[in-house]
Amino acid sequence: MADFGIKAGENVLLVWDQPSTPTTLKQLAEELGTIVGSDGKVSVENVERLLLSSHLASTFDCVVSCVLADSSTVHSSETLAELARILKPGGKLILDEAVTGAEVQSVRTSANLISTLKLSGFTSVAEISKAELSPEALSAYRTATGYQGNTLCRIRISAFKPNFEVGSSSQIKLSFGSKTPKPAEKPALDPNTVKMWMLSANDMNDDDLDLVDSDALLDEEDFKKPDPSSLTVPTCGEGAGKKKKACKNCTCGLAEELEEESKGKEKTNLPKSACGSCYLGDAFRCASCPYLGMPAFKPGEKILLDKTTLTDA
């Protein structure tokens, strides 16, 4: 039991599985009880009943799982998470499990088992030993998992729960150090550098400066107002067989021109009144007027007739 690292006065949980014999299980429990002494305690739990047990969180100093020679359990993620829950902060886990050299559906490799332990919340995961499976254990394992390969071996792994509870918090003190003090006085500038970037009124009248009049940059053509037709881009729908279409974000005025044309077409497409008094109301409408029963409207306003009215007419 020296490789378990159990000390006197600790609370230990021994997890077993089928087909472990009662004799070997009792012998191991007694050996653990001798180590922890009267101040400690050894509890025994079946791995299949572990998730249904009522163990409180952070109860055990050490958990020994499926270390009997004929154990054939594959520790699930839920089982490992429960073991992490009932361990005290800094508690130790010792488990045995059969692994294979190549990953298959029902058997893990040693690397996958170590990764699963880390994902379940354990730290300092390490492989302690490796041994061949006994014929009895190999037969039980094949029956439990359905694996028929010959590359199985048994490894023992130790892992620790982090030295803090899940959900615990701690205040972090940050020290940014002392700030660099600002200089009392601004650094002196080089007089030659200051003189180089200064321009006085006397320099403006200097005959050596060749200043350009901004008005002289424009000629008479620049002051003429351009013809609107010349601002239109040639590719804005102009040409044989093409329909005028304004570009997106048009700036040449074609979009406004097309909008005015469409408004003019809408006015010409308005229905014409035979008597010229349809818009005044039913009192001024003919007996066959399609607008009978409708309120008066403004001249030129577009009126939409429903299907019932058009059918009756």
Give me the DSSP letters along 81-126.
HHHHHHEEEEEEEEEEEEEESS--SS---HHHHHHHHHHTT-EEEE
Q: Which residues contribute to the annotated binding site for [4Fe-4S] cluster?
A: 275, 278, 286, 289
pLDDT at 286: 81
Pairwise pLDDT comparison (110 vs 253), residue with the higher score:
110
Q: Domain containing 153 — which CATH number?
A: 3.40.50.150
pLDDT at 146: 75
pLDDT at 249: 79
41 assigned to some structural domain = yes
48 assigned to some structural domain = yes
pLDDT band at 199 (very low <50, low <70, confident <90, very high): low
List, in sequence order, the alpha helices (H) in 148-206.
191-196, 201-204
Last residue of a domain, one of 106, 133, 161: 161
87 assigned to some structural domain = yes
- From residue 62, give the alpha-carbon distance in Å to each of 9, 57, 59, 81, 93: 11, 13, 9, 15, 6
What pLDDT digit, counting tens, does each position of 68-98 carry?
A: 877 878 888 999 999 999 999 999 999 998 8
pLDDT band at 240 (very low <50, low <70, confident <90, very high): very low
- Is the pTM higher than 0.85? The answer reads no
pLDDT at 280: 81
Last residue of a domain, one of 161, 189, 217: 161
Which pair of structure tokens corresponds to residue 135?
């014929």
Q: How many whole angstroms separate alpha carbon 92 and alpha carbon 124?
A: 10
What pLDDT digit, counting tens, does each position of 208-226 carry?
A: 666 777 878 888 888 888 7
Residue 55 makes CB contacts below 8 A (sequence gap 6+) with 13, 43, 45, 86
Q: How many whole angstroms separate alpha carbon 86 and alpha carbon 58?
A: 5
Buried b (16+ CB within 10 A) or exposed e, 4-43: bebeeebbbbbbbbeebeeeebeebbeebeebbeeebbbb
pLDDT at 154: 87
pLDDT band at 132 (very low <50, low <70, confident <90, very high): confident
> What residues make up the domain containing 57?
11-161
Poorest-pLDDT segment among 11-25, 137-151, 196-210, 272-286: 196-210
284 assigned to some structural domain = yes
Mean per-residue pLDDT of the chain:
79
pLDDT at 232: 63
For residues 154 and 132, is the Cβ–Cβ distance under 8 A?
yes
Poorest-pLDDT segment among 24-38, 161-175, 257-271, 274-288: 257-271
pLDDT at 125: 93
189 assigned to some structural domain = no
234 assigned to some structural domain = no
Supply the DSSP symbol for 43: E
For residues 120 and 81, is the Cβ–Cβ distance under 8 A?
yes
pLDDT band at 269 (very low <50, low <70, confident <90, very high): low
3-class secondary-structure state, position 287: coil
Q: Which residues contribute to the annotated binding site?
A: 236, 247, 250, 252, 275, 278, 286, 289
279 assigned to some structural domain = yes
Q: Which residues contribute to the annotated binding site for [2Fe-2S] cluster?
A: 236, 247, 250, 252
3-class secondary-structure state, position 41: strand
Last residue of a domain, one of 161, 194, 216: 161
pLDDT at 69: 79
Whether the pLDDT of residue 241 is over 70: the answer is: no
Number of domains comprising the chain: 2
Q: How many whole angstroms separate alpha carbon 205 and alpha carbon 45?
A: 103
85 assigned to some structural domain = yes
Q: Scanning the structure block, which residue is given the tokens 């490894």?
A: 155
Q: How many whole angstroms separate alpha carbon 206 and alpha carbon 46?
A: 104
Looking at the structure, tell me whether residues 16 and 155 fall in a common domain.
yes
Pairwise pLDDT comparison (273 vs 151), residue with the higher score:
151
Q: How many whole angstroms separate alpha carbon 70 and alpha carbon 140?
A: 7
